[in-house]
Chains A and B, each alone.
Chain A
Amino acid sequence: MTRTITRRTSRLAAAGAVTLVGALLLAGCGRTDSPTGGGEGGGDAIDDSPATGTVEVWAMGNEGEVLDELAAQFEEENPDVTIEVTAVPWESAHDRIATAIAGGETPDISMLGTTWVGEFAATGAFEPTPDGLVDESSFFEGSWDTAVVDEVAYGVPWYVDTRVLYYRTDLAEKAGLEPPTTWEEYTAFTKGLQEAGAEWGVSLPPGGFDSWQYVTPLAWQQGGDILNEDGTEFTFDTPEWEEAFAFYTSFFEDGISEPRRLEGGEIESAFINGEVGAFYSGPFHVGLLLEQGGEDFADKFGVAMVPGADSRTSFTGGGNLAVFEDTENRDASWKFVRWLSEPETQLAWYDISTDLPSVQAAWDDPTFAEDPYLSVFGEQLQDSKAPPAIATWAQVSAVIDQELEKATRGDTTPADAIAAIQQQATSIGTGK
């Protein structure tokens, strides 16, 4: 009996497999080139009547925890609407959105990491931003670009994040130096911090996850870029990139930067105890340093725009909001998104979450304009850039991380590193 059963099972399994292969072969005669949904421009315009119905929103990390508070204000203004916020941990957010798209179980709105837009937009799961919903020019340019894929905007930037230079004012004073504006000054400045007592002039990651965010601005500052004008080919094998790599690795060769990656948590204590003279980070570090450094540490550090070459471009990231193609409450979803990108809402949101507004008008408020730290971020945002919204960016950027690590460790030269990046990036492609 056992034998008959096994034989039958294996026959069943074989039949199943054959059917599946057949289905795949039949259905899989190549893909259609255009993504399923979307198309050019947004759908119908969104009117100004109050929103109604239920809107499901996914938000990550801290935003997911406190968005309810803000949503309550929207519900007050629009009594017939219910906003349901689901908090999603950052670590699993990317996979969860991918799974939701695959299963057709997407929420109405989701918050997105700025570098995910290209990848998910390629699935056709997002609805293009309706014409006239928001004024494109009211956002920071670098930030708006994160929502645009092939000249179609998907959703809007919600909050922004940019890198500035944190430095020890007491050490700079001792060395008699002003915060740097050019590359030459930057090298001299960090060396000066070392002479004034810091063990390491500036902390830079020698490689590893997301270290591309530190080297790419150096290429941008000289007019280099990741893709060519029409966005079809990578441009890593250019003098700008080689120079960027050479400059970045010089900090390790000259012993200004420690060839060790400081993990979150280590950097604050190293900066507070004076081991590290300067580092790059986003706005959240102001609060962390004031909290951990104690009262008098506020006088010992400052923030400054990043030093530059032709420009002083920094990296920008943040969070976007996108509406899914198969939303059941399209109008209310976009109305909520529109409301979230109004300057007043963004100010209220800063109070709740400390996320920086993506809308420039909000920065005129004294909260930002008069704050010694935040005003620097506002200024930096005028000159900050995001990587292109291409589907393969995560993979391409990982290649930059790997080659940068080889270069800073002296295993390869800047010229070989960029050649390797160009070759691998080309074979990965832009995902079109």
Chain B
Amino acid sequence: MTALASPAAPPRRPAPRVRSSRRERRMTRTAWLFAAPFVILFLVFMAGPIVGSFLMSFTDMTTRDLQTPFQVNIVGFDNYVRLFQDPRFLRSLLNTFTFVVVAVPLTIGLALAVALALDKGIRRFRTVYRVGYYAPVVTSIVAIAIVWRFILQPDGLLNGFLAVFGIQGPDWLQSPSWALPSLIMMAVWRNIGTIMVIFLAALQGVPREHHEAAMVDGANAWQRFWNITIPAMRPAILFSTVITGIGFLQFFEEPYVMTQGGPLDATLSTAMYTYDQFGFGNYAYASAASYVLFLAIVVLSLIQFRLISRKD
């Protein structure tokens, strides 16, 4: 079964031998010429600012240095040390971590369930459902915020619904214990659509013959799902987990429009914290905070690649 599941890797092409003849050198030059527009744009607008802000994180730059950015003092790792001494920053890391750990599996699981339902279960109005689940992805966050406020208000839709069962719901957004779960709920709802589309595509790529062969072998639906569908979807799941993980680590829009990081910093994410610091004009300090987040993203992605793509 496992042999069936992992398609054979394409034979690797032998690496071209490096030989520097004049012709090759000219070709290299031409290649660079063609690549130049991208390379220049990348260096000026991407790599430049990235390297710049990295260097900035070792200085004490604030608003007062706007006109004279090179007159700053080099402070080494001071900003990083200060970050980890700031209880609010640590709180923001904890919030972000909680958010990722809860929301990523939830998003992937629900998206997979929805994708399977749309692929197999639901026959009627399939397009309606697909549009329905995808709509939140393309809706403006501002519109979403307004609607979710109505849902989460103390006398809103959600509490009205809970009241039917005799449950007195909390004031979701202004309760320090419920604000983060509320935003998790909202973020999951917003992101299911994208992942669902990816999974639908992946499901269509699962070879029918494998399923047929397994049926002949007497595998039931669950066994086929677990041993054929899931392994065949592994690249899609890996991809989705990584992009959702990265997206959720940078979790910003939801607290920005709904809670501004409150109440009592319950929804203060690291990105939100960084944004605040930039707003205060603490450019160097904010850069340091964003590099900590960047490092976290790199680490998380590495872990996910390890966990999901292990060769069998």
Contacts and interface: CB of A to CB of B under 8 A. Distances in A.
Interface of A: 1, 3-5, 13, 16-17, 20-21, 23-25, 27-28, 30-32, 35-36, 94-95, 98, 101-102, 104, 119-120, 122-125, 207-209, 260-261, 391-392, 394-395, 398, 402, 405-406, 409, 411, 431
Given A17-B51, A28-B70, A102-B69, A391 B281 contact: yes
Contact of B264 (A32, A122, A409): A409
A1 B71 contact: no
Contacts, number: 101
A131 to B, nearest CB: 24
Interface in B64-80: 64-74
B16 interface: yes
A13 B46 CA distance: 13
Contacts of B263: 207-208, 405, 409
A21 B47 contact: no
B24 interface: yes
Given A98-B281, A208-B260, A16 B64 contact: no
A409 B179 CA distance: 15
A102 B51 CA distance: 18
B55 A124 contact: no
Contact-size category for B: 35 or more
A209 B276 CA distance: 12
A398 B68 contact: no
Interface string B236-279: 00000000000000000000000010111100000000001001
A36 B67 contact: yes
B276 A119 contact: no
B63 A402 contact: no
B66 A405 contact: no
Interface of B: 16, 18, 24, 28, 47, 51-52, 55, 59, 62-74, 154, 171, 174, 176, 260, 262-265, 276, 279-282
A101 B73 contact: no
27 contacts: A1-B24, A3-B18, A5-B28, A13-B47, A24-B59, A24-B70, A24-B74, A28-B70, A28-B73, A31-B72, A31-B73, A36-B67, A94-B279, A101-B66, A101-B67, A102-B66, A104-B67, A123-B63, A124-B67, A209-B260, A260-B154, A260-B174, A391-B64, A391-B281, A402-B264, A402-B265, A406-B264
Contacts of B154: 260
B63 A261 contact: no
Nearest to B24: A1
